[in-house]
A = this chain, B = another copy of it.
Amino acid sequence: MKKDLRVQKTLQSIDDAIIKLLKEKSFENITIKDISDEAMINRGTFYSHYSDKYELIESFQVALVSDIEALLYGNIVGESYSEIAESQIKETILKVFEYLKENRIRVLTVANSVGTTEFAKYFSRHMYDFYKVKSEEFGVDLNSEGFTDYLITYVTNAHMGIFLKWLKNDCQESTEEMAGLIETFTINGVFKAVDI
Instruction: Using CB atoms and an 8 Å cutoff, list the residues of chain A in contact with chain B.
Output: 28, 81, 114-118, 120-121, 124, 135, 138, 140, 142, 146-147, 149-151, 153-158, 160-162, 165-166, 169, 172-173, 181, 185-194, 196
* A194-B140 in contact given A153-B161, A158-B154 (Cβ < 8 Å): yes
**Are A156 and B161 in contact (CB-based, < 8 A)?**
yes
Tell me the complex Cα distance, A146–B158, Å. 16
* A165 close to B150 (CB less than 8 A): yes
Known contacts A158-B158, A196-B140: A147-B191 contact under CB 8 Å = no
Question: Looking at the complex, which one of B138, B149, B194 makes contact with A165 (CB distance below 8 Å)?
Answer: B149
Contact B185–A154 (Cβ < 8 Å): yes
Chain B neighbourhood of A166, CB < 8 A: 150
- Total copies of the chain: 2
Measured between beta carbons, the chain B residues less than 8 angstroms from A187 are: 189, 191
Given the known A-B contacts A151-B185, A187-B189, are A146 and B121 also in contact in the complex, defined by CB atoms under 8 Å? no
| Closest chain B residue to A113, Cβ basis | B117
Residues of B within 8 A of A173 (CB): 146
Chain B residues positioned under 8 Å from A162 (CB to CB) = 150, 153-154, 157
